[in-house]
Amino acid sequence: MATYKPKSILITGAAGFIASHVANRLVRNYPDYKVVVLDKLDYCSTLKNLSPETRKSPNFRFVKGDIASADLVNYLLITESIDTIMHFAAQTHVDNSFGNSFEFTKNNIYGTHVLLEACKVTGGIRRFIHVSTDEVYGETDEDAVVGNHEASQLLPTNPYAATKAGAEMLVMAYSRSYGLPAITTRGNNVYGPNQFPEKLIPKFILLAMRGIQLPIHGDGSNVRSYLYCEDVAEAYEVILHRGEVGQVYNIGTKKERRVSDVAKDICKLFDLDPNRVIRFVEDRPFNDQRYFLDDQKLKNLGWSERTTWEEGLRKTMEWYTTHPDWWGDVTGALLPHPRMLMMPGGERNWTEELVTLGSASSKENSTKTAEPAPVSEEKPKFKFLLYGRTGWIGGLLGKLCEKQNIPYEYGTGRLEDRTSLTLDIQRVKPTHVFNAAGVTGRPNVDWCESHKQETIRTNVVGTLNLADVCRENGLLLINYATGCIFEYDEGHLLGSGIGFKEEDKPNFTGSFYSKTKAMVEELLKEYDNVCTLRVRMPISSDLSNPRNFITKITRYDKVVNIPNSMTVLDELLPLSIEMAKRDLRGIYNFTNPGVVSHNEILEMYKKYIDPEFTWKNFTLEEQAKVIVAPRSNNEMDASKLKKEFPELLSIKESIIKYVFEPNKKGHF
């Protein structure tokens, strides 16, 4: 099989989703190729999608412009000596095509025509890879066992698909009339990091993060096939080098899922009840039941899907939870039918419309006719507004509120967005606000070292925003902070039993995460409506939770052995609710009294859980070789908290009572 080697590639639309992954891959893997990106930076594209490494690469150039500009396209083909075009640029969201179909004709048909004419005029193109969609085939029969192959009839059923089919006809005409060396691809749905959240999977993830119901068109029985973005980028890499001119290639997967099942899988990732979270809404004017492709032709070139659905969805969820503001204010895109994003004129209150979707904690599925709520004689004594639903502590807080019959709702606004916080307070009308949101990094704090702006935005700016908005509304804010802002020193020697007190000045600056937490804690002292709780190395009875400190160290190959203060969440989180009720303010070391070492915990684990468990130790110096940022080790003085709650157990007693005894092997 002959291998094609381009010299200078023009990729259209590569600040968008799929094409950015292709561009990043080609720039990274082929330093000898020149890669020129042309993108008009529409609402669903951003330069951030092109990695910093790509943008700094000497073989990369970005040009902001429209493919519909014939002069610009001709200029680029000539001055950049373009011999290969990978044409991704298009309007792709079906909902938008029902509301503004002319924009799709302009971009998808006319824009493609301009490119084709430029290729004819300049005459230097050796490959033209045209990116189409599986939707041009129309609906596949539900009982079909063989998918649409590349020679199947094109029967588009919506304006978007019709414009893509029209563009394909133009490519075919230029190939036959003028000898354009063209290849066409038709792909299944793609998902993954960087996707604008008008599409199903990122939309549902962001809604779940905000605690808002997931709207499903129709009855959710529609079947779709989903491919992870990196697998698709690899497919285009294969087609570029091994694809045969004049051919069409389906990029697909045999693994199909109903839309309702996708929503359930996302609910599972966020530990949400699908029966309470999923909402069925009015269907599209026409919604194809199924798209099914035969992708054997591409497999014959050597490509195959690598990423499982579970792995891809988890990676996507982790990316969105660590990049919640990648696209800025996307409230309008999160509506059930976001057709108005492209429409000129006419302002709309997106936030207000989104709020009507309802909180995911709503007791009733909104497909049912709501009964009038009984008029309450008196308002509840307490109502909590919680932030940090997708986090460990935030999720546990919601469960505690349910257990204690305390009305609560999760905030839907981002901490950095002051207006959305105010809207949350106006909507929920809480008596207290709890902030368990923040950036700690995934899988650990090392992430913060290379994502400093994102860390500052949430841990500093966002927290101060919330404190200030709460103060304006006369509300107490319970803020879960960290005790990882101290390290053993001459005044607090390891093993001395002298712990850091609330008034002590932070002395640990080894990690950027700790720097931001110490910074915001100092600034919060100016707010008399804040109760700051310093959590350390949190532990819980859920030994399957990867964030649990005990779970972490049992999975490490080696551990250090240093006594530290720690927080047993099963015992202390209920106390934080009681602290809110008592209107406590100021700073509290939110740890159990005393310290416990890694080895002591692992000895308990061996005794109570796994008698065969073994582990190895290594030194701090050896640990430093495998981590990016140093870790905090310290003892916290919990006497202030103990005075408020005399029943508070020491750390070792608490671990045994709340963690190991309930999980003891053979315990029933």
For helices 200-210 and 259-269, what crossing angle results, to 10°? 40
Q: Could you tell me the CA-to-CA distances from 10 to 35, 69, 77, 416 in Å, in that order? A: 6, 15, 8, 37
Eight-state DSSP code of residue 148: B
Closest C-alpha to 396, from 275, 567, 540, 269: 540
Place of tokens 């192959």: 149
Q: What is the DSSP string of 66-120?
A: -TT-HHHHHHHHHHTT--EEEE------HHHHHH-HHHHIIIIIIHHHHHHHHHH
- What is 180-239 written as a DSSP string? --EEEEEE-EEE-TT--TTSHHHHHHHHHHHTB-EEEETTS--EEEEEEHHHHHHHHHHH
- For the chain, the farthest-separated pair of C-alpha atoms sits apart, in whole angstroms, at 87
Distance from chain centroid for Cα 49:
14
- Peptide bond before 443: cis, by omega within 30 degrees of 0? yes
CA-based nearest residue to 219, from 370, 360, 365: 365
Tell me the C-alpha to C-alpha distance, in Å, between residue 592 and each of 582, 636, 639: 20, 9, 9
Q: Which residues contact 308 (CB under 8 A, 6 or more apart)?
A: none
* Strand order across the beta sheet in which 248-251 lies: 60-64, 34-39, 8-12, 84-87, 127-133, 182-187, 248-251
Q: Which of 395, 18, 9 is nearest to 230 (CA)?
A: 18
Q: How far apart are CA 160 and CA 339, in angstroms?
A: 13
Instruction: Show which residues are catalytic.
Output: 134-135, 160
Whether 253 and 188 have beta carbons less than 8 Å apart is answered as: yes
> What does the CA dihedral 320, 324, 328, 329 come to, rounded to 10 degrees?
100
Residue 471's closest CA among 417, 425, 414? 425
Give, in degrees to the nearest 5, the angle at Cα 343 between 342 and 346: 130
User: What does the DSSP 8-state code read for residue 250?
Assistant: E
| Cα(7)–Cα(309) distance, integer angstroms | 35
SS (H, E, C) 302-323: CCCCCCCHHHHHHHHHHHHHHC
What distance in Å separates the CA atoms of residue 55 and residue 57, rounded to the nearest whole number? 6
Q: Are 558 and 515 in contact (CB under 8 A)?
A: no
- The first and second tokens of residue 584, run together, are 């406590």
Let me know the angle formed at the C-alpha of 512 by 509 and 514, rounded to the nearest 5 degrees. Answer: 60
Q: 410: part of which helix (H) or strand (E)? A: strand 408-410
